[in-house]
Amino acid sequence: MLIGRDPDRLADTVGWIADQVPGGPIRTVLADLSSLAQTRRAASEVAELAPSLDLLVNNAGVLSPRRTETAEGHELTLAVNHLSPFVLTEALLPALATAGRARVVTVGSSSSDMAAIDPDDLELRRGWFMTRAYARSKLASLMTALEIAPTLQVSGVFLNVVHPGLVATSLVRGGGPAQLAWQALGLVAFTPRQGAETPLRAALAPELDGVSGRYLKPRGTATPNRRALDPALRARVLAATRALL
């Protein structure tokens, strides 16, 4: 099952999957994951189509070249990279718990490794810069994942965060120096197929069955940002996240 905001790109993806796995059932849900209302609606549609869900991969992401707010008033980078996957995961917990042993894989980023965070300003109303906003959104996502993982594990839901490596995607758009720099980095980056390897390992590897609360990179389990290991700070970030929903 795929969630996406562009019907044409969804159709292209469905066609590609059908070529790789002929006859496999593929369902799509149309939603813009920068909108928390649409994210919740998408979760309801998914749960109706799959009341027992054994895998959720949170992969949507954005690196915005300018500070933009969504129609709901949230900073765009935070909304897509952190708030939406948090909302989607929580909304689908009943379906995930029903499966018995389910996995949640959230795609993070090594940009979070050196990032700072202010729970009182998750939206970065002060000192916004594109790479800072991206890194902080990924750190917030990592910290909340590590904070809720023990609780989810009690229900048989195992949550891990994955940095897939530098992957040549269309993450940066809109032209200008930022897109040119991103395209230059793409010359030394993983291909999308290579970048999928670590998320797929987190989703499918037998040795990760029952493993939760890990930060995974292409070479294995990694040590996250020291801030993500601070229980008091994690709790503040989780509370600040919930306050924005």
Residue 62 is part of which domain span?
55-244
| Catalytic status, residue 215 | no
Output the pLDDT for position 17.
Answer: 92
- Nearest alpha-carbon partner for 125 in 69, 65, 179, 166: 69
For 12-25, write each residue's pLDDT tens digit: 999 999 999 898 88
Mean pLDDT, residues 221-242: 98
Q: How confident is the model at residue 192 (pLDDT cuts 50, 70, 90)?
A: confident
Q: What is the token pair recorded at 98? A: 């029903």
pLDDT in the model for residue 191: 77
Assign residue 174 a region (left: φ > 0; alpha: ψ between -120 and 50; beta: otherwise): left
Task: Give the chain's domain count.
Answer: 1
pLDDT of the residue at 184: 47
pLDDT tens by residue, 66-87: 999 999 999 999 999 999 999 9
pLDDT tens column, 100-151: 899 999 999 999 999 999 999 999 999 999 999 999 999 999 999 999 999 9
Residues 37-58 have a mean pLDDT of: 97
CA-derived radius of gyration, the chain: 17
Query: Which pLDDT score, from 0 to 100, does residue 177 have?
Result: 59
Nearest 5°: phi and psi at 22? -55, 135
Q: What is the pLDDT of residue 23?
A: 87
Q: Decide if 38 is inside a domain.
A: no
Domain assignment of residue 179, yes or no: yes
For residue 220, the cross-strand partners are 217
Indicate the pTM of the whole model: 0.90
Q: Given this model, what pLDDT does residue 176 score?
A: 58
Q: Is the pLDDT of residue 229 over 70?
A: yes
Asked whether residue 24 is assigned to any structural domain, the reply reads: no
Q: If pLDDT is split at 50, 70 and 90, which confidence band does 218 have?
A: very high
Give the CA angle between residues 19, 85, 43 to the nearest 5°.
70
Which pLDDT score, from 0 to 100, does residue 182 have?
46
DSSP string, 54-116: SEEEE------SS--B-TTS-BHHHIIIIIHHHHHHHHTHHHHHHTSSEEEEEE--GGGGG--
The answer on pLDDT for 168 being more than 70 is no
Domain-located, residue 142: yes
Mean residue pLDDT of the chain comes to 91
Single out the catalytic residue among 134, 158, 190, 215. 134
In this prediction, residue 187 has a pLDDT band, given cuts at 50, 70 and 90, of low
CATH assignment of the domain containing 119 = 3.40.50.720
Question: Could you tell me if residue 21 is inside a domain?
Answer: no
